[in-house]
Structure 1
């Protein structure tokens, strides 16, 4: 992608890619933070991060600002994670499923049928569960700024309605690069195919895959519904998004600026949720108008099929403790 190449070329020319983040400060003391998201410009997470930038600029009199690279302009989420870890970018929004293998505590947030509803998820994220997960990113040169919930993840495909796990047998489903999601699809009878988010639309069109799983808002904003006309309300996961910052970039800020950024990140969750709730309603209406066929699922059958997956993770003490905390809030 040309934007990403131009961005990295600029970093290299300035000697920034291998330098400390303090090299990004202008001579007059101003600094423009960089942020990335694979979602489109009007997506709720993008809007929330842009809100952080606006508030930063106002609170510091323009001394701090933020430039948002949306729509995957700087590459895939996996690339953004590494770029943040090494200080090439400052902030990135990443789907928690893409973090499962490197950051074990995020696995609890992604496991199937851990959360009963959006309200249950938000109670967990706003309390000790969310705080513990965010602290876990410190182990690999990242700062967890906030967690953005993003609704129920459900299955959609190009072939037929999915009402029970038997309907998934033999179908190829895109999954993120997460062991949890790959095994979940296998237990449900499907064939998991790891792909980057930006490759899903063309994979559906060319029949490289038969379907995928995601939230309703992403299904709509990515226009994947133009290729996949069947949406099945499996609500198998409520895996949220995480807002991360480079530890190097964070530490290079003044103490007061670090506190300001953390406060704004926490407050941006409310901004994101308001945008999310409004846009999810309008997205559902648009999908129905476009002819997408929506059906309910046999949820007890889905829960029974993935039970072995949950059992394995219960054997990990740290995950089991966090799981119990989550379920206590149901």
Structure 2
């Protein structure tokens, strides 16, 4: 009698263990991904696609709710700390937004370091793992998942701002310490204006011009109220997406790999889109609004670079060994 019941007990126990394992395997997780950018930014749909792809590949075991500007309470500067503290599990922001909080992240936002986009991308590729990834992990409990470089930083105004003389007394909207100091050293007056107020501030003449990229210019419809683009390309901002390390480690390994793989795929697509998208928006603006585009000649560019040297010196002093590490990698890449 006992010999007949023993296998049945073993089978029943095994079924219960199997059911428990299946239940654990099907455990679901829900994250929130926040961005400071408006849905009008052309590549924002790719972040929604990232969230959708992760949910689909995980069979719904990891759902990511994507919230853009106006759908959450965080500024661009606050998103990094929100992820660090686990208030949200995933965040997207740019170096220019967090430069006051973490100056070392703003390296590619320093003025006039690079001659072109390819130089900036090469520098970022060398800095990504030993520098940026380490800073996010060590200081902000965050794992870097995407990082891409943006070109096309320009001044949008009612006249060309392509000389020191033209800059004198001009009130220019800026978006961080480095950009504000740059405008001041070049003879202008830096002004802080919220992105949502950019259109009316230019329209009313509260400011004379605005620093922003081409995506931002299009999203804010600035060429309805100003008609000049001065193509400085003074910096090459980096936009990041990062995940709270505790949230990542709480996922099963297969879900962790899905997050990393899908983020890498989306990152490649966004970088490719930005490589051509900035110029495409500029051409569309010329055709649609008839704007005038000008740049900096070689002598003026060198003068701007010289006048803004104190910003780079201050940054190196403030960031110490960490900043010197970035600068050494940058200089090696230029050789």
Q: Identify if the C-alpha distance between structure 1 residues 142 and 293 changes in structure 2 by more than 3 Å, giving closer, same or farther.
A: same
Cα distance 1:129–1:273, how it changes in 2: closer, same or farther (>3 A)?
closer
Displacement after TM superposition at 1:57 (Å)? 2.0
Match of 1:219? 217
Structure holding more helix per residue: 2
- More divergent stretch after superposition (139-148 vs 112-121): 139-148
Which residue of the partner structure matches residue 150 of structure 1? 150
The answer to whether the 8 Å contact 2:32/2:88 transfers is yes
Shift of the 170–112 alpha-carbon distance from structure 1 to 2, 3 Å rule, reads same
| TM-score, structure 2 normalization | 0.81
Q: 1:318 aligns with which of 319, 322, 329?
A: 322
Alignment of 1:140 onto 2:143: no
Match for 2:311 among 303, 306, 309?
Answer: 309
Native 8 Å contact 1:147 1:242 kept in 2? yes
Q: Cα offset for 1:230? A: 1.4
1:1-330 equivalences in 2 (<5 Å)? 29-41=27-39, 43-75=41-73, 76-129=75-128, 131-138=130-137, 139-157=139-157, 159-176=158-175, 178-289=176-287, 290-297=289-296, 298-315=300-317, 316-330=320-334
Q: 1:55 to 1:126 in 2, by over 3 A?
A: farther
Which piece of structure 1 moves more, 222-231 or 43-52?
43-52
Name the structure 2 match of 1:15: none
Aligned mates of 1:198, 1:81 — CA distance in 2: 21
Query: Structure 1 residues 179 and 40 mapped into 2: Cα distance closer, same or farther (>3 Å)?
Result: closer
Q: Render the CA deviation track for 1:141-166: whole Å, top value 9, x for unaligned.
A: 33322212111312122x31111122
Cα drift, residue 94 of structure 1: 0.9
Q: 1:198 to 1:329 in 2, by over 3 A?
A: farther
Contact 2:195 2:220 in 1 (8 A): no
CA contact (8 A) 2:109 2:237 kept: yes
- Partners of 2:122 and 2:46 lie apart in 1 by 20
Given that 1:145 and 1:243 are in contact with CA atoms closer than 8 Å, whether structure 2 keeps it comes out as yes
Please state how far the C-alpha of 1:129 moved relative to its aligned partner.
4.1
- SS where residue 155 of structure 2 aligns? strand
Alpha-carbon separation, structure 2, partners of 1:145 and 1:199: 31
* Conserved 8 A contact 1:166-1:188: no
Shift of 1:174: 1.5
> Is 224-233 or 312-321 further displaced after alignment?
312-321
DSSP-derived class of the 1:287 partner: helix
CA distance in 2, matches of 1:112, 1:130: 23
Q: What does the per-residue CA deviation read over 1:223-250, in whole Å, with 9 as the maximum and x for residues that have no partner? A: 1222232110111111221112334433
- SS of alignment partner, residue 170 of structure 1: coil
Structure 1 gaps of 5+ residues are 1-27
Relative distance call for 1:42 and 1:29 in structure 2 (3 A) is farther
Name the SS for the 2:333 alignment partner.
coil
Match of 1:20 in 2: none
Contact 1:103 1:136 in 2 (8 A): no
**Structure number with bigger Rg:** 2
Structure 2 runs not aligned, ≥5 long: 1-25
SS at match of 1:77: coil
